[in-house]
Amino acid sequence: MKATFTWRRTLLGLAAASVIGQCSAFSFGAEDAVIIPPPALDETTQAHSETVVFAGGCFWGVQGVFQHVKGVKKAVSGYAGGAANTAQYERVSAGDTGHAESVEVTFDPSQVSYGTLLQIYFSVAHNPTELNRQGPDSGTQYRSAIFTQSSEQQRVAQAYIAQLDAAHSFSKPIVTKLESYNGFYPAEEEHQDFLTEHPSYPYIVINDLPKVAQLKQLYPERYQDKPVLVKGGS
């Protein structure tokens, strides 16, 4: 965990060319997306704005995927699952705060349903069968988790996990946790819109850009080319 933290921190301050060796040592390469059916049970709501918090490994890639989904109004990288006084990158990276690197997704249910976001989360944004890790990153801060905002979100997510496991949609059982929401804390500015601002960084090239490409390929009707950014609007 410490090696991963040090390496990713180095990425923030160095040009990509200077860290290729380090990246190669830690990057496994993006896994192929898994084609899965939509949820049989979806949320019904008349609201025009709703929020859910997804955790699925490094927040750079998860944010990058959801910023390209039509109907998503905002996707913010941050921390969830721990206390406010430990919601800083250095502390969270130690792996003992209870936080997970997360993305708060605000969306318009009239344009994209919660169930569709779940489908993209499980099939493209990360691998839900990896316990406390994603690709080169390991530790509870990289766990697969959904911090649901309502009992309806909880019910739909539970049903979908059961549906996917029953259909053996993945080669292993889903380990995604449905956790109680106790606050979301936006990450530091340098972590926002990271995929868009640093498309040539080796970590992004190897682990995250393929996810955006898979989103476009598998869900062309859901894909928008222009991302919804945190800094300076969309």
Torsional class of 81: left (φ above 0), alpha (ψ -120 to 50), beta (otherwise)? left
Q: Report the residue count for the chain.
A: 234
* Exposure string for 1-26, b = 16+ CB within 10 A, e = fewer: beebbebbeebeeeebeebeebbeeb
23 is catalytic: no
Residue 28: count of CB within 10 angstroms of its CB: 11
| Pair of tokens at residue 40 | 């049989």
221: enclosing H helix or E strand = none
- Active-site residue identified among 36, 55, 58, 195: 58
* Residues designated as active site: 58
